[in-house]
A and B are shown apart, each in its own frame.
Chain A
């Protein structure tokens, strides 16, 4: 069993040594003559204006969370919907309960103001 992994391990070893070796070699061998122009983020482009990491409204986060929750609802509903015929009424009841609970969650979110933009 474990014998079959040895080629894989050899491959990993060789590739790790190769990668590290190349990194070190280029670090030692390359000539370094830094100039201010070379150190700019875009060497021959526009001069960047301001920081790229701007903060944006936290409202997006609330919407994203709602999206995750209701997106995952479908993960449970689709397998049931595909097998609707064979699963019968018992499972229909269970799924209805599940959807009802999610609907109550939606009511809570709505009343709490999670769906309002401003």
Chain B
């Protein structure tokens, strides 16, 4: 595939992730959509590095690492909230107005 097509695909995936975070109310699905966004970014970096040099592939490593760290903390937070509310649907939490 050509880099432009990959770029287009990554844009589509990014939009899917963004819409997912906005539309869905399940914390885990929202989190997965965020991961989708980050992977769309990775795809964009790799596609762009075809044009502008090897740096982009290097950035992918850092994004992956940060995504893993975010997953660790994020899942811990989701588990902590599940212990309090027995739910991960964001509409069920009512202490703070959303």
Binding site for B on A (CB under 8 A): 8, 58, 61, 65, 68-69, 71-72, 75-76, 79
Contacts and interface: CB of A to CB of B under 8 A. Distances in A.
A88 B8 CA distance: 40
Contacts of B72: 65, 68-69
Interface of B: 8, 61, 64-65, 68-69, 71-72, 75-76, 79
A61 B65 contact: no
B75 A72 contact: no
B61 A76 contact: yes
16 contacts: A8-B8, A58-B79, A61-B79, A65-B72, A68-B68, A68-B71, A68-B72, A69-B68, A69-B72, A72-B64, A72-B65, A72-B68, A75-B61, A75-B65, A76-B65, A79-B61
Contacts of A61: 75, 79
A58 B71 CA distance: 15
Contacts of A76: 61, 65
Contacts of A79: 61
Nearest to B60: A75
Nearest to B73: A65
A75 B69 CA distance: 14
A61 B64 CA distance: 19
A65 B64 contact: no
A72 B64 CA distance: 8
B12 to A, nearest CB: 10
Contact of A75 (B64, B71, B76, B79): B64
Nearest to A61: B75
B82 to A, nearest CB: 9
A13 B19 CA distance: 20
Nearest to B79: A58
Contacts of A58: 79
Nearest to B8: A8
Given A68-B72, A69-B68, A72-B68, 6 more contacts: A61-B75, A68-B68, A69-B69, A71-B68, A75-B61, A75-B65
